[in-house]
Amino acid sequence: MNNAHIPILGFAAPSGTGKTTLLTQLIPQLRMQQIRVGLIKHSHHNFQIDKPGKDSFRLREAGATPVMLVSSHRRAIITEFTTQQEPVLDEQLEFFDQSSLDLILVEGFKRERFPKIELHRPSLGLPLLYPDDSSIIAIAADQTITVERKIVSMDLNNIPQIADFILHIFLEKS
C-alpha cells in the first residue's frame, strides 16, 4: 500500500459474519487506549450519502463532482466515478486524511493484499479465507477451529482480546 502512511488493518469475512458489529465494539476499546482510529468501508451497493430533494443531491445530479457538504460537525465529500469498477484500496487511501490518525481499520477489500484479521463463524458453513490469503495475520472465530498454518487465533466474542492483539502485537505498543 503506497498510500498508507500509518498502519492499516483489515477485517475480512463474508457478508453477515458481523464485521460492522465487531468494529462498533472494537473502536471504543482502541480509543480508550488513546488510539486515533479512521475507517474505510467497502460497499458492494450503490449507496447514497445524500437524499433526493436535498440541495447536495440536486447539485450532484446536475453534474457537480466532487460535492463537499460541510457543517460545524462534519465534512463529507461525494465524488462520482466516471467508470464503474471495483475500487482499489490503495487508490482510496490517497484521498483519506491520515494526518491525525494512529490506525486505519478497513472493512472489506478482502481480496487485496494488506494485513487482515479474518472473522469466521463455523455455523455459517463457509470456507476459511486464510489458507488462500497469506496477508491474513489472525483469525477471530466464535468456536474453536483447527488451523493449518501458524496463525494467531482469537475469540470473536472477546473484544478486549482482539484490541489487545491490535495494540501489543500489530501496533507493538507497550
Quick: pLDDT tens for 92-144: 999 999 999 999 999 989 889 999 999 999 999 999 999 999 999 999 999 99
Residues 6+ apart with CB under 8 A from 58: none
> Same structural domain for residues 77 and 158?
no
Picking from 33, 65, 86, the residue at the C-terminal end of a domain is 86
Segments forming the whole domain that contains residue 75: 46-86
User: How do residues 5-43 score in pLDDT, each as one tens digit?
Assistant: 999 999 999 988 999 999 999 999 999 999 999 999 987
Total domains present in the chain: 2
Residues 6+ apart with CB under 8 A from 31: 37
> Same structural domain for residues 75 and 149?
no
> Same structural domain for residues 123 and 171?
yes
> Same structural domain for residues 153 and 172?
yes
